[in-house]
Structure formats: C-alpha cells, structure tokens
Amino acid sequence: MNSKYEIKRPSKEILNKIRDIEITSLSDAADFNISMNHLIKPHINKNKIVGPALTLKLEKGDSLMVQKILEIAKPGDVIVIDTSGSEENAVWGDLRSLTAKQKDLEAVIIDGAIRDIEGCREINFPIFCKYVVCASSTKSKAAEINIPIKCGGITVNPGDIIVGDLNGVISIPQENAIEIVERALEKELSVSKSREEILKGIYISESTLNKINSLES
C-alpha cells in the first residue's frame, strides 16, 4: 500500500481509557482547543465513538476519493472529511454507510452534507456532519488523503484520536493523549466531589465562593 495511506494508530489501551472518560472532561483537560464547533453533531447513531482519524480533503462539490479512503480504512478507524466548504452537495449516503459498516469502521465525521437519510438510519453507521441535502456530488476529481485538514473549525491530523457523542466531537493529538487523559481523570474526580456536595446541600464550592466574593468586593 502507498505509504501516504498509512497512519500511526494509537494503542488499544489508550483508546479504551479515552472511551471510559466523558468527552466534556477530555475537552476541558486540553490546554488548547480540541473541540469541533456546534455544527458537527450526530445525525445517525448517537452512541459514543472513539478511533484514529483517516483524513480526506475533497475538492468542493466532488466526492470521488471517498471510495478510496473507504478502501484503505481499517476496522476501528474514523474517516474525517473536509469538503472545502460544500453545503449543497452530499459526499456520503447509504451505500457508503453500508461499506463502512461492513468494514467495521468506527464512524465518519463530515464538515459538509450527507443524503439518503432514511437508508443511513436503517444501516445505523455513526455519522457526524453539518447538513442533510438531496443533491449528489460529482465524482471526477482528485483529493488529498491523510494530510492535516479543517473540520468543525479545528485542525485534524491523520492519526488524531477522534471522540464523539451527543455533545459533539473532539480531536486529540496522539502526542498529547496521555497528558489529556490524566487531566481529564482529575477533572472527573472534581466533578464527582461537586456532585456529592450538591446532594448534601452545598451548592457553591468554597473556591467558587471565594472568586465571587473577590469580584464583589
């Protein structure tokens, strides 16, 4: 296989750790923005997804090379597609969902549109995207595979760890994954403590109260 089609995939151990952590905790744990904007949401299958990114940058209005990235994708991969700003042309439909499910892929994230919504729902392969439209795309142009792309307002690199659920989608660089996981676990301990305090009738933590008092003084 052409080397440009290969990515460095994260270990199953780190993927399993990330799967057990709330996506909001992971987002909070990063010291830079790893969260896609509010337009990227689950349209098909709202279960949590976690997997390494295969990236694809299409020419606007064309989707020929979606077939190529489906061919090279491996079980557990997440296909992430930059449509170059296309809003009117679907780059994904029920047949591509069927292919992805047959290959046991994790999900597809599309900064753009899909179609065949009823068929996609029946297949139930996870799709996160912006739009659902009627019009198809042309299938005649080259595209770039496994390069840094833009999706949901952030940069996604091949091999980044993609996490998605009802809250949205984040992209964790592999080199930052361990640090983000450690911080996220600390965040979840803090949230658990706050939840216990609320159940005991303590509605404002001491640290938050001190901040409020300092602003009001």
pLDDT per residue of the chain (217 residues) written in tens, 0 to 9: 466 789 999 999 999 999 999 999 999 999 999 999 999 999 999 999 999 999 999 999 999 999 999 999 999 999 999 999 999 999 999 999 999 999 999 999 999 999 999 999 999 999 999 999 999 999 999 999 999 999 999 999 999 999 999 999 999 999 999 999 999 999 999 999 989 989 999 888 888 888 888 888 7
Residues in CB range of 14: below 8 A, 6 or more apart: 161, 177, 178, 181
* Residue 20 counted as an annotated binding residue: no
Residues, the chain: 217
DSSP one-letter code for 60:
T
**Residue 116, annotated ligand binder?**
yes
Q: CA angle at residue 162 from 123 to 21, to 5 degrees?
A: 100
Full set of structural domains in the chain with CATH: 7-188 (3.50.30.40)
